[in-house]
Amino acid sequence: MTNIIKTNKLCKTFSNGGSQQHVLQNIDLEIREGDFTIIMGASGAGKSTLLYALSGMDKPTLGNIDFAGKEITKMNSDELALFRRENCGFVFQQTYLVDSMSVLDNVLAAGYLISNDRKATVAKAKEILKSVDIDESLWGKFPTQISGGEAQRVGIARALVNSPKLVFADEPTGALNSKTGKAVLDALTKFNNKGQSIVMVTHDITSARRGNRILYVRDGEIAGELELGKYVSGNKERHQMLRDFLGEMGW
């Protein structure tokens, strides 16, 4: 399998007055194409910091990140933005839709960034919205007029509209109840099964089950890794393997 991301001695240190906090320490990591990679760990372990460093949203203090053959740690803020629009999609815990835009416009605002073919982009945006079960009646509504689960699925549609090499999801179900959370995970799983690579941070075991590769972060380091087969609903053996791994990691 091809690597999308390869990091080399990735470090992130926060300075606060005289003290320093090493959040990421010498991380060497590969993210593979087609994987649904899960990053787990306790609160404050550095999992979100790792996710945003990998995506180029945050700059590491030391180390290199090769993303799709490009060294992104050397890029400036605008170069990173241009890189992200073609290669990354993001799903955030808080959805972060633009309140003053309709559901469809939120998706198109990302889609138009890389496509000059407006008709094709609109068609694709509508298709993706349908595929994440956002009914046509909701397309003209504003984010404040739809439910949290629906808003998160719109966020997924926005992340996928440009067919990015990798989708980064930061606890996408963290603010949702179990029913709406499941719908969001189903949507992500569906796209992963179609070949979309995903990296997801979560501290929820139900969400983690959707991944085929689990990375456990502790004190800014990758403390352990578990390879699982692709997610199949009701596979108890797979679930147990995950439980055992997390038990080993002290979860």
Residues that bind another protein (CB under 8 A): 52, 57-58, 77-78, 81-82, 84-86, 88, 90, 92, 94, 96-102, 104-105, 108-110, 112-114, 118, 122, 125, 140, 142, 144, 158, 162, 170
Rounded CA-CA distance 161/204 in Å is 26
- Please report how close the Cβ of residue 187 comes to another protein at its closest, in angstroms: 18
Return the structure tokens found at 66: 């090769």
Q: Which is nearer to another protein, 159 or 215 (CB)?
A: 159
d(C-alpha 12, C-alpha 127), whole Å:
39
Nearest distance from residue 142's CB to another protein, in Å? Answer: 5
Q: Considering the complex, state which of residue 166 and residue 228 has its C-beta at the smaller distance from another protein.
A: 166
CB–CB of 191/199 below 8 Å? no
By C-alpha distance, which of 213, 205, 210, 212 is closest to 247? Answer: 205
* Nearer Cβ to another protein (162/212): 162
Buried b (16+ CB within 10 A) or exposed e, 31-55: beebbbbbbbbeeebbbbbbbbbbb
